[in-house]
Amino acid sequence: MNEQEIFTFIKSIITDNEDITTFIPNEEIKVEHRLVEDLGLDSMNLMSIVYELQEKFESLDESGISHWKTLLDLIKAIQEL
Amino acid sequence: VSYLKRFLNSQLTLEGKVVAPKELQEQFILLEKQYHSVNLQDLVYIIDKDPIKMSIKFFSILDKGHVPCLLPSHTTSYQLEVIQSNCSGHLWKDDQFEYAQKASTHMTESCYAVMTSGSTGLAKMCFLSVKNAFLNAQMHCDSLKIGKKHLIIQYLPLYHSFGIVCYLFTLLEKQCALDFNINFLGIKTLNKRNFNKAVLHLSPSQTRFILKERADLPKEIDIISIGGGFIYSHELQQLQKKMHHQNLYVSYGMTEAGPRISSAQYHSDWHDGELGRAFSSVQCAVLTSEHKVSLSGEGRLIIKTPCLKINTTDNDFINDYYITEDQVSISSSGSITLKGRLDDVINFGGINIYPQDIEAAAMKIPQIKNVICLKKKNKTYGETPLLIFTGNTTKEKIIKFLKERLNVYQVPKEIYYIEKFPMTGLGKIDRQKVKEWLNEK
């Protein structure tokens, strides 16, 4: 999957999860947005996103949550698998 | 023996990885170089992203005879300004020690301070004795049967009164092991960790997250304690099914109680709100609707608090009992049942959010004429804040402004514009009518 496809996939996970609300409407989310400060995600939100991603990308390590600052960091971690 | 020395000699791990005593000692030496000598009993605020450094600073400040107060790493400079104006103190933030000309507190015994509510104007500072913290940790451990061989897995905030007693003082009291974590861990991650016997403290929202996971909890976790908000009996029943031989408890407390009040072990005929009997160190009673103090019956929970000092008014006390926000019933045998909370407080996954804090911050936006903050039910978090405003600005601008001044969880993600607020005869916003307007909307 390329960057755009992973990005769209992550956005669909966020939209489909009724417990996650972001500061920014889904259609305005950009790859450079920061996960915590810009989108308002907490570690439980991030963990559920990562668990969803792991259904497709099994080797994605959730310990990266402490290091990923932006959506692009997460996308890059997936691309590097 | 100094608190710090006991901490440095403890069995500590960070995100599952062992932290060697030598490494801890080196961190301590580096941190000591930042410390600026201050007067005895001075208040020192501590902010550190690293939970181990935060703990070293906490115990080191206690050892020096000062009063430490842990603050979250995401505390904004605006919040700090408000906190300092309410209760001034020195600030040990990350690698810098900022000296304050005038630091508060006149305590006569070893104590630490805890902020109990939001931090934008209505902050309440409690000064709690270290002696009582050890006693409270001991009672908490005894009720949950936490022993020396247990590993306590931390991911509830360390800076809460709960975190200080149930993680830091418990570690020193029981000489068990402590695993620090920066993020929440689901079952999937817990199953990757190596430990023999472990204790897990969960908030209701974390419990709900775990209930959604398909996997079972690792059998090595033999104690689970849920606290910090309301948990329903059907959720406890579901959790028990996901566990192997674990003992499941519901814990209850509040900062002013130092902070634990009770722990009740889950049983098959559990009823909603069950909290068990209060620990012997905390005296509980109710304030009835006739404004009478009674040892049993229904009303607002009142407690004889071991707090050394709280910045409260006389109205917060009756016959030396501190009047809490919780509605309870106490049976003749002393069993407490939680009935609910006073209406306005937003319980966000166990963290109290005070609407007044959010409203006060939003009112600082010049384009906003008036604002109210309400709560909205949320399946995972219990309740989340919601903001309604009049004035000439946008949702995006409000969020941007509030994010610079409040903690992320305090910033409402749902914001609505109203042309004119319905008012009561006394000139206050009619919250009930606004709720009706919102429901229609």
pLDDT digits 0-9 by tens, B321-352: 999 888 899 999 999 998 876 667 788 887 77
- Sign (positive/negative) of CA torsion B33, B38, B42, B47? negative
The pLDDT mean for chain B works out to 89
Rounded CA gap, B375 and B377, in Å? 7
Query: Alpha carbon of B219 to those of A21, A22, B241, B242: distances in Å?
Result: 34, 35, 12, 10
ipTM above 0.90, yes or no: no
Preferred mutation among B13, B193, B407, B413 to probe A, highest tally of A CBs within 10 A: B413
Distance of CA B105 to the CA centre of its chain: 22
Contact A48 B15 (CB under 8 A): no
Report the SS3 class of residue B388.
strand
- Closest by Cα among B243, B234, B138, B249 to B190: B243
In chain A, which among 12-71 make CB contacts under 8 A with chain B?
18-19, 21-23, 36-37, 40, 42-44, 46-48, 51, 54, 62-63, 65-66
Of A19, A48, A65, the CB nearest to B379: A19
Give B215's contacts in chain A (Cβ within 8 Å).
none
Rounded CA gap, B238 and B241, in Å? 5
pLDDT digits 0-9 by tens, A21-38: 888 888 999 999 999 889
Q: Which strands, in side-by-side order, build the sheet including B90-93?
A: B96-98, B90-93, B43-47, B67-70, B111-115, B125-129, B309-310
Rounded CA gap, B171 and B3, in Å? 11
Q: Does the pTM of the predicted model rise above 0.90? A: no
Phi/psi at B226 (nearest 5 deg)?
Answer: -110, 130
Please give the single-letter amino acid code of residue B348: F
Q: What is the pLDDT of residue B272?
A: 85
Neighbouring residues of B217: CB distance < 8 A, sequence distance ≥ 6: B187, B190, B200, B210, B224, B242, B243, B244, B246
Question: Distance from A5 to chain B by nearest Cα, in Å?
Answer: 26
Preferred mutation among B377, B380, B414 to probe A, highest tally of A CBs within 10 A: B380
pLDDT digits 0-9 by tens, B49-107: 999 999 999 999 999 999 999 998 888 888 888 888 888 999 999 999 999 988 887 77
